Amino acid sequence: MRVVLMGPPGAGKGTQAKYLVEKFGMVHLSSGDILRAERADGSELGEKLKSYMDAGELVPDDIVVEIMAKAIAKQDADKGLLLDGFPRTVTQAGALDKQLEQLGLPLEAVLVIEADESLLVDRITGRRSCPKCGRVYHVKNIPPVKEGICDACGAELVQREDDTEEVVRQRLAAYRKQTEPVIEYYAADGRKMIRLDGGAPLEEVAQQAAEALAS
């Protein structure tokens, strides 16, 4: 199964991706995670990525497309793919279509998790993530059993540098302006679109997503 997972920052993409991967076994590729790993090595490219990401702006298309094309090409095609956070512009969507067409592996569904802007700021500022296994928590909504510690692997949870209210507002503006047109791009092309309410409890969203993908 090859699926693009879309939605504003904080809608629950990463959270739902964990469930979907457990259920369907596809490979989860989060462009945000891949870019954060790339910037962690302190290279010149890393510094460039940091300047965009810390400001809540999108990284330029040519850089993201190259990094994601390499990541996709490395995967075992039989397992399927869950792309989370990529594509985020119509240019990226076109480049992805071209690559998947060349591989003979077109997209099968676009899963959009929608959520109200008022909800998103609270979701993002309360987010804590495990730097070791990638599991995502929320200080109020989905707290770990022991405060600040990952239930799954015991590592200390961290807060992302760009998860501040000021940067969130910028990221939401980028989403509305640059990423929402990608939903139109796919819908106009007759792709299988699944739209879910990300404001619902997490188990409910997970169940609806799994049912829609399996049908």
Task: Name the site residues for ligand AMP (rule: CB under 6 A).
Answer: 9, 31-32, 35, 52-53, 56-59, 64, 85-88, 92, 171
Alpha-helical segments (H) within the chain? 13-24, 31-39, 44-55, 61-73, 90-103, 117-125, 165-174, 180-188, 202-214
Residue of closest CB approach to ligand AMP: 32
Tell me, yes or no, if 171 is annotated catalytic.
yes
Dihedral of alpha carbons 131, 137, 139, 145, sign = negative
Q: Which of 2, 36, 88, 128 is catalytic?
A: 88
Q: What is the contact surface with ligand ADP in residues (CB under 6 A)?
A: 7, 9-15, 123, 126-127, 136-138, 141-142, 201-202, 205
Tell me, yes or no, if 127 is annotated catalytic.
yes
Tell me, yes or no, if 160 is annotated catalytic.
yes
Among the listed residues 125, 127, 123, 133, the one whose alpha carbon sits nearest the alpha carbon of residue 158 = 127
Q: Which of 160, 191, 192, 195 is catalytic?
A: 160
Nearer to ligand ADP, 9 or 80 (CB): 9
Tell me, yes or no, if 2 is annotated catalytic.
no
The listed partner (ligand ADP, ligand AMP, none) that binds 58, CB under 5 to 8 Å by sort, is: ligand AMP
Q: How far apart are CA 65 and CA 81, in angstroms?
A: 16
Nearer to ligand ADP, 32 or 80 (CB): 32
Cβ atoms of residues 142 and 127 within 8 Å: no
Among the listed residues 62, 2, 42, 8, the one whose alpha carbon sits nearest the alpha carbon of residue 178 = 8
Tell me, yes or no, if 39 is annotated catalytic.
no
- Catalytically active residues are 13, 88, 127, 160, 171
